Every structure is written in structure tokens, then in C-alpha cells.
């Protein structure tokens, strides 16, 4: 059931792709929504802390995703991509994979190094950090996390536009392989 057919990614690869895409949108939505709630309010803390945990889930699933990708080579695109298009597709996929690890890790290190612990939403439980607290270092990590978050609006946007272009303009099977 999980093996890729000649026309589609494996079931697990497709499942991971779409679930992780939804989780990433949720991570963005949660952190952007925090400004709607008063500083110090329970709802604001819930939005921010849920952002942390949705991101951690993305990081966890990213390991399974890479393992699945190494286990099964995706089916070819027909008609095949050549030259620049092939290069652009491969480069953007590497960038997206790098993001799946780098973004949550930067966020996680920010929290652990800034606060000295990771909070669990809706509880008073704090998971202690194994790292020493350093506000200045945490600030640099946070800046990088925010910068990467902004850059990836464009990379993800480009990825979505490419998928639509493949389907409606080039009329190949790129998108069908992922659904
Ligand atoms: C898919 C994963 C993630 C994405 C896409 C993401 C995205 C973002 C973005 C776009 C911002 C900036 C929001 C703004 O400037 O208004 C942000 C802020 C932040 N993120 Fe993440 N993040 C992810 C994972 C994580 C994780 C796993 C943690 C911690 C465990 C984390 C901790 C933070 C912190 C501490 C901030 C700053 C919040 C503040 O200024 O109040 N992020 N994130
Ligand atoms: C946060 C959002 C997303 C992320 C992080 C993401 C990430 C990725 C990655 C890393 C791959 C490469 C898979 C591989 O061959 O190893 C991929 C493939 C693909 N994605 Fe996404 N994706 C996202 C959203 C979307 C959306 C919204 C669409 C559709 C509109 C889409 C359509 C596709 C398609 C069609 C492929 C297959 C491309 C190919 O094999 O050449 N993705 N995605």
C-alpha cells in the first residue's frame, strides 16, 4: 500500500506532505494571531505556546519524511523536466527540506536559551533547558527565526505557484503525483 506507484508518491510521503503543509500554515497562523490578544493574557500564552508545539511536531515529522524519501524514489514527471526547470525544482525541494529542520530548531533553541525552559500549553509544567540562559544569544537566534519565517513566505509561495503552473499550464502529472 505504501510503495510508490508509477504515477504517485508513496501513501506515507503524500500523507506527510499534506499534514506537514497544514501544520506549517497553523504554526504561522498561531504566532501571527498572538497580537490579537492582550499581553500577559492566557489566550496569548496559549497561541504562542501552541506555536512552539506545532513547530516541534513539524520537526519530529521531518525525520520520518526524510526517511520515507530515502526509502522510496518518487515516480518520474511526464513529460520529464529538463535543464533549468529540473535544477530549480531540485534546489527548491532541498530548501524546503532544510526549512523543515532549521526553522523549528531555531525556534526551539530561542525559547530554551532565552527562558531556560519550554512551557507545556494549558499547564504550569516547564521542561527545563539543558543550555545556559543567554538573552543576547537568544535574541540573535530569534531574529534569524523571524527572518527565515519571512523568507519562506516567498519560497513556499513559489512552490505553490510552481505546482499550479505544472498542473494548469505545463499540464504534466507533477501535482497528481502528490494527491
Ligand atoms: C514550522 C515551524 C515554525 C514556523 C513556520 C515558525 C514561524 C515563525 C514566525 C513567522 C515568527 C515571527 C512572527 C512575527 O514576527 O510576528 C515566529 C516567531 C517565534 N517562534 Fe516560530 N516558527 C516555527 C517553529 C517554532 C518552534 C518549534 C518554536 C519553539 C519551540 C518557535 C518559537 C518562536 C518564538 C519564541 C518566536 C518569537 C515570538 C514573539 O516574538 O513573541 N517557533 N515563528
Ligand atoms: C508549507 C507548505 C509546503 C511545504 C513545506 C512543502 C514541501 C515540499 C517538499 C519538500 C517537496 C519535495 C518532495 C520530494 O520529492 O522529496 C514537495 C513536493 C511537492 N509539493 Fe509541496 N510543500 C508545501 C505545500 C504545498 C502545496 C500547498 C502544494 C500544492 C498546491 C504543494 C505541491 C507539491 C507538489 C505537486 C510536489 C511534488 C513536486 C515534485 O515531485 O516535483 N506543496 N513539497
The pTM (predicted TM-score) of the whole model is 0.95
**pLDDT value, residue 2:** 74
φ/ψ region of 39 (left if φ > 0, alpha if ψ in -120 to 50, else beta) reads beta
Q: Are 112 and 118 in contact (CB under 8 A)?
A: yes
3-state SS class at 118: strand
pLDDT (tens digit per residue) in 158-171? 999 999 999 999 99
CA atoms 50, 30, 101, 2: torsion sign = positive
Instruction: Among 17, 29, 165, say which to mutate for ligand 2: greatest number of ligand atoms within 8 Å of CB.
Output: 17
Q: 65 CB under 6 A from ligand 1? A: no
Indicate which residue's Cα is closest to atom 15 of ligand 2.
74
pLDDT (tens digit per residue) in 116-166? 999 999 999 999 999 999 999 999 999 999 999 999 999 999 999 999 999
Q: Are 97 and 66 in contact (CB under 8 A)?
A: yes
Instruction: Among 14, 96, 162, 168, say which to mutate for ligand 2: greatest number of ligand atoms within 8 Å of CB.
Output: 96
pLDDT (tens digit per residue) in 56-81? 999 999 999 999 999 999 999 999 99
Q: Compute the distance between CA of residue 178 and CA of residue 158 in angstroms, rounded to an integer.
A: 17
**pLDDT value, residue 170:** 97
Q: Which three cell numbers stand for residue 162?
A: 510552481
Q: Are 108 and 145 in contact (CB under 8 A)?
A: no
pLDDT (tens digit per residue) in 2-59? 766 668 999 999 999 999 999 999 999 999 999 999 999 999 999 999 999 999 999 9
Q: Compute the distance between CA of residue 77 and CA of residue 79 in angstroms, rounded to an integer.
A: 6
Q: Are 71 and 63 in contact (CB under 8 A)?
A: no
Amino acid at each position: 500500500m505504501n510503495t510508490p506507484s508509477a504515477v504517485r508518491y508513496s501513501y506515507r510521503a503524500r500523507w506527510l506532505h499534506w499534514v506537514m503543509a497544514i501544520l506549517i500554515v497553523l504554526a504561522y497562523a498561531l504566532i501571527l494571531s498572538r497580537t490579537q490578544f492582550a499581553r500577559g493574557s492566557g489566550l496569548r500564552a496559549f497561541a504562542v505556546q501552541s506555536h512552539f508545539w506545532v513547530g516541534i511536531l513539524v520537526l519530529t515529522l521531518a525525520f520520518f519524511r526524510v526517511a520515507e524519501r530515502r526509502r522510496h524514489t518518487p515516480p518520474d514527471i511526464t513529460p520529464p523536466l529538463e535543464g533549468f526547470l529540473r535544477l530549480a525544482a531540485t534546489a527548491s525541494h532541498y530548501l524546503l527540506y532544510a526549512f523543515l529542520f532549521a526553522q523549528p530548531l531555531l525556534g526551539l533553541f530561542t525559547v530554551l536559551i532565552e527562558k531556560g525552559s519550554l512551557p507545556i500549553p494549558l499547564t504550569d509544567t516547564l521542561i527545563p533547558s539543558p543550555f545556559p540562559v543567554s538573552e543576547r544569544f537568544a535574541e540573535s537566534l530569534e531574529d534569524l527565526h523571524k527572518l527565515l519565517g519571512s523568507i519562506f513566505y516567498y519560497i513556499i509561495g513559489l512552490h505553490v505557484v510552481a505546482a499550479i503552473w505544472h498542473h494548469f499550464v505545463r499540464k504534466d502529472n507533477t501535482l497528481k503525483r502528490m494527491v
